[in-house]
Structure 1
């Protein structure tokens, strides 16, 4: 199956890019650009490259632009995606960091509906927000929120994450209630992979699985581990695993990666990713 990753690079000087990405020792090779592996879409892309090789699937195509939060790069990505979708026609799309723009989201969604075969739709970060804001959340196949983002999905009155009501501050033990509430108001995708101390796989039927082991406390403050989890879920889906199983395997592999890496407070996501091939091998075995 072919898959596409759509996101942004946190640099204003990064041009619009559509093409394959290669992971080298110094970072991600995107044509002439070498992008360091840090949190956000670069971490997701790096994990996707590693997972593609381990799972023997086609490396993902990447559609990217530079955006440091002002939104210009995101609009370039939205605009290009509308034009390119009929040509690319991917089987799986993983949407990542993009400025939430309801108008552009809806334009993209109309182009998705016009495809002969609609792709499996995975959304994290900004695109998950705009999918809910637009009212199309239930049309997606997988969201990968943390508990705070889940609270936004569960709040049927919040038009934007800034306006999520008080239960955003609740502990992870409220996750089942928030999942149920998100589905009740049609603000959740077909499946949810909720990232936390225990990762939770859920659907409208309720919680399907909790993945709590191994516990690697030092992973929690390392930025990018949620991005790698989303990448792994996308890779397993691209390898034709059912979505719930893809989420379970992704959560386990992400945790084993941390266990094998033995991180310290000084570790980065790039340090952890060196252990991802062995983690995938262990989980698949």
Structure 2
């Protein structure tokens, strides 16, 4: 599979018509606000050390967006793709994104096989929408039937790769699915007075590589979030008023703001790890 895809069985036209009328009525009557509860695992006043002599290059940290890419009488296919130029973490205190750097050539001392593995590892996670991201640090040259993978020389000491999961909005567990289903039904029947509720997955994988693309470590974060929707709920964030962040959509991707709060935690852990490396240039 070259894309992040999810198939859904499409109902018959009669079922579609009935549901369309039903939800049009509900959408007219219900103007729900959505309150997102996102956990922050690091205090706001946490100090992140400066590493002025260490060059860190960030790759990834992009949200997904879901769209219908195929539709037939029986099924619909939804595809999740990385969103360009959006980043979930707008800026890090130490280092810059690869897209903001210019190369001065290619690293001849890093083998094609090593670059190829780096490329494949990333694309195995994010699929083909990650190709553009990789062009900021790598290049592929075709010689006959052979492909030569090259690492661009951007003068960095460390590469930090960030991948958010899941690509599709997913309940934390089966119990969460049941609660979401029943709370949504009661919310509709009460015209939004009874709140709908969902407990959803969110995670981040971070991999740190040295300048020669040797993977040094990997970190995993679980920062699931929950959503409450009702006509009386306060909108957090403000953009989620009047169903503009409707988590009840059949298939969608987690919104980028559920990851934004974790930027300081990511960087604190990244910097702490780099400080343990020897020799470390202060």
Provide the TM-score with structure 2 as the length reference.
0.27
Q: Which is greater in Rg?
A: 2
Q: Which of the two has greater strand per residue?
A: 2
**Highest relative contact order (Cα 8 Å, sep 6+), 1 or 2?**
2
Provide the TM-score with structure 1 as the length reference.
0.26
Q: Which of the two has greater helix per residue?
A: 1
